[in-house]
Every structure is written in structure tokens, then in C-alpha cells.
Amino acid sequence: MNTQRNTGRDGVVRFYDTHPINEDEILAKLAARGTNLDSLTQDELKDFDQDHYGGVQVVDALAQKAGIRREHHVLDVCSGMGGPARWIAHRIGCRVTGLDLTQSRVEAARRLTGRVGLEALVDFVQGDATAMPLPDAAFDVVMSQEAFLHIPDKAAVVGECARVVKPGGTIAFTDVVVRVALTAAEEQRMAAEMHAPGLATAAQYAGLLEEKGCRVEARDDMAEPWKGILLDRLAMYRSLRDTTVAKFGEARFLQYDSLYDFFVGLFTAGKLGGVRIVARRGR
């Protein structure tokens, strides 16, 4: 494998281009359940299109904490296949724009959104969260779930969130954080294989938000609820063995399986955890 292409932004894109959770897998699962794909609804899709820890319940909790209302325009940073963006638009009726680096994720997000008829409320932009192709002060709420871990320059992504949210608007996100310092070998594997370089602590995120002129209103520790969710996800990825091998080959399945086992081990050992932060930009 070309190591140049497997590092930095290229590495992240490659990681998500060959991810076990993907559009084909979602549609196959829905078909296996007997869902008519020609009349798919977001209520049916919601069980498969969320790529974070906790499904739509945690999207609802984040939306509630962020105070998202029907008249808001929300930005979902690192929106993946658009599961949270569609769910929020479907539940609340607000406009949502998703931004993601990985073109295949953006295209899948657009197709899935078209299938469930939400394209009037939900749109997607391809771009880097550290240099968003979006205007200043454009959004009432900026949200994100389990994605900033992939971005080495945390100050840049927090700064961009603070730039595009309106004065007085809300930034709300969840992410993986360090609780106990990793060994050099653990850090190296997280960076090289999980594409998670330079993981932050919850306090570092709070400090960056304050530096960017935002007041942190809530900081919730997600370590305990995430442990069980991550063990379930490991079992779910293992249950996808056949489809992952058929689509990406056995080597990719085995590599991802070993990597995810290592990642979950860092949570069960208490070294990694999660945080949910809600902050308000000053006026």
C-alpha cells in the first residue's frame, strides 16, 4: 500500500471509502428485513445510517441540548452518510447542511436523502472541516459526532465551527477523548490505522472553544455509556464479515477487526473516553 496515500486526509478518505458501514451494506440490510427500497422512509433508514455511538437517541439528546428548533439552519460537520442530518430534519423540520471530506460519503448521503424525500431540507457539501467552504456566521447551530478525532489540528476545526456559527449560536459535539495518556505505540496505532492523530482531552476542547470566543455551557462525560456501545459495535462489525469480505476483501476485514478490538480495548481499560460539549458563541 502506498504509505503517502494512506496518511493525512488521503488516509481518512481511504478509511471511509472502505468502511464496513456503507451505502450498499445499509440497503442490503434493509432489503433483508423486507423493506421496500422504492418507498423507503427515514424512520426505516434510521436504524442503519448512523455512524456514531448510540443511534438516533443520542442525536435527539444532542439536538435537545443544542436547542435546535424548526426555524434553525444547522451545520453537521463531518456528516458521513448523512444519518444525523436527515434525522434532525425529519424530527424537527429544520434545514440541515452536512459537510464531509470523503466524496463517496457525500454522494451516498445525497442518494440516501433523495430516497427518503428529504432533499428540500437537507443538502451536503464536500469539504475539509479545517477550511470549510462556507460563509461566516451562517448557521444557528453547528454540531458533530465522533469525527474530530480524525482531525490533527483541533484548534483549526474548533475555529472553523466558531467562525461559521452565528453570534449567540450553539456549537454541540461529541468526540473520543483521552483520559489516561496512551503509550507511544498506542498513539502510533491510533494515528496510523484509526486515522486518529493527536487525540485531545475534554479539557483541551473546552479550552479551545473558550479561546475562540465561545462559552462552554455543558461538558458531559460519555465514557461509561460508550463502553457498552463500543462492545456492541465490535460484535456488529464481526457480524458483517461476509459483506465486508465480499466488498473489500478478507485482508481489510481482518485488519479492521484487529484494529477495532484494539480501539475498544482502550475504552474498556479507561484510557479513552468520550465527551459531549455544548458551547455558545459570544455575541
Ligand X SMILES: C[S@@+](CC[C@H](N)C(=O)[O-])C[C@H]1O[C@@H](n2cnc3c(N)ncnc32)[C@H](O)[C@@H]1O
Per DSSP, the residues of 45-106 read HTTTS--STTHHHHHHHHHHHHT--TT-EEEEES-TTSHHHHHHHHHH--EEEEEES-HHHH
CA dihedral of residues 201, 207, 210, 216 (deg, nearest 10): 40
Q: Which of residues 143-162 bind ligand X (CB under 6 A)?
A: 145-147, 150-151
Question: Is 16 among the residues that bind ligand X (CB under 6 A)?
Answer: yes
Q: In angstroms, what is the minimal distance from the CB of 131 to ligand X?
A: 9
- Which residues, 23 to 52, sit near ligand X by CB under 6 A? 50-52
Which residue in the set 12, 89, 171, 200 belongs to the binding site for ligand X (CB under 6 A)? Answer: 12
Residues in binding contact with ligand X, number by CB under 6 A: 22
- Residue 14 or 219 with smaller CB distance to ligand X: 14
- 3-state SS, residue 8: helix
Q: Which DSSP string corresponds to 152-206?
A: S-HHHHHHHHHHHEEEEEEEEEEEEEESSPPPHHHHHHHHHTS---SPPPHHHHH
Touching ligand X, residues 54-113 (CB under 6 A): 78-80, 83-84, 100-102, 105
Q: Which of 92, 129, 158, 278 binds ligand X (CB under 6 A)?
A: 129
Question: Interface residues for ligand X in 224-263 (CB under 6 A)?
Answer: none
* Residue 273 touches ligand X, criterion: CB under 6 A: no
Contact 280, 214 (CB under 8 A): yes
- Contacts to ligand X by CB under 6 A: 12, 16, 50-52, 78-80, 83-84, 100-102, 105, 128-130, 145-147, 150-151
